[in-house]
Amino acid sequence: MGYFVLLAIAVYGVSNRIKLKIRKNKYYETIEQRRLYLERENKIRQEQYDLEKEIEKLKSDKLQIQILSKDKELVTNSLQVVKKNKILNGILQKVKEIEVKDLDETTKFQVTKLNKSIVKEVNNDKSWKDLEKHIKNVHFDFLKRLKEKYPTVSPREMDLATYLLMNMSTKEIAEIMNISNGGVELARYRFRKKLELTKKENLTGFLMSV
């Protein structure tokens, strides 16, 4: 009889230990499952974050490509306007050389009218004004940041900065700003000085980082 009692107690004890072990296993299993779940959730969040960053980068790259494409178009249009004005100024100069006193009244009137028309076209060049406005719109954010960081930058220097950012050559800038190549180099030198750049720092590279 005593043997069966001891056996029953032993079986009960073993049963309890097994149940306890099962509960512990379930507990640890639950903990592990939660850890795996959190790990998986964090991984998904990280992947989503990386994806969003990649999308933003692609958007930024696409925007940059669009800006570069627009810049090429603007450079071409700018030089066309400059060329047109040069031709008009050349014609104007030739018109001025005409001795109107030797002309009859009708021809004299036509020459004077042509002279005024050319002067008006050069001075009130809507295409050039529209182009300048368009350039500033495309690079609005850049010009805003530049002015905020360097309040003393003049409108002329902001134009120079934009042309440099558009990767224009010294010759192209000279034509658009109506100054000599040497004048452009001098303007660049003074601009670098205002920005407090060292000799080793590239002006265009610096502007791209603004």
Residue 208 identity:
M
In degrees rounded to 5, what are phi and psi of residue 145? -65, -40
The answer to whether 172 and 79 are in contact (CB under 8 A) is: yes
Domain count, the chain: 1
Q: Is 197 inside a domain boundary?
A: yes
Strands (E), 50-127: none
pLDDT for 13 beyond 60: no
The CATH number assigned to the domain holding 183 equals 1.10.10.10
Give the span between the Cα atoms of 201 and 179, in whole angstroms: 25
Q: Is 108 inside a domain boundary?
A: no
The residue with greater pLDDT, 49 or 196, is 196
Question: Residue 75's closest CA among 144, 131, 129, 122?
Answer: 131
Q: Is 207 inside a domain boundary?
A: yes
Domain of 174?
A: 139-210
Q: Is 55 inside a domain boundary?
A: no
pLDDT for 51 beyond 70: no
The distance from CA 200 to its chain's CA centroid, rounded to whole angstroms, is 24
Residue 143 burial class via C-beta count within 10 angstroms: exposed 0-12, middle 13-18, buried 19 and up: buried
The answer to whether 66 and 59 are in contact (CB under 8 A) is: no
Place of tokens 């991984």: 43
Q: Is 155 inside a domain boundary?
A: yes
Q: Is 14 inside a domain boundary?
A: no
Task: Tell me the per-residue pLDDT of 155-210, one tens digit each, with 9 for 90 and over.
Answer: 999 999 998 988 888 988 888 888 899 999 999 999 999 999 988 888 988 998 88
Q: Is 84 inside a domain boundary?
A: no
- 146-184 exposure pattern, b = at least 16 Cβ within 10 A, e = fewer: beeebeebeeebbbbbbbbbbebebebbbbbbeeeeeeb
Q: Is the pTM of the predicted complex or chain greater than 0.85? A: no
Q: Is 18 inside a domain boundary?
A: no
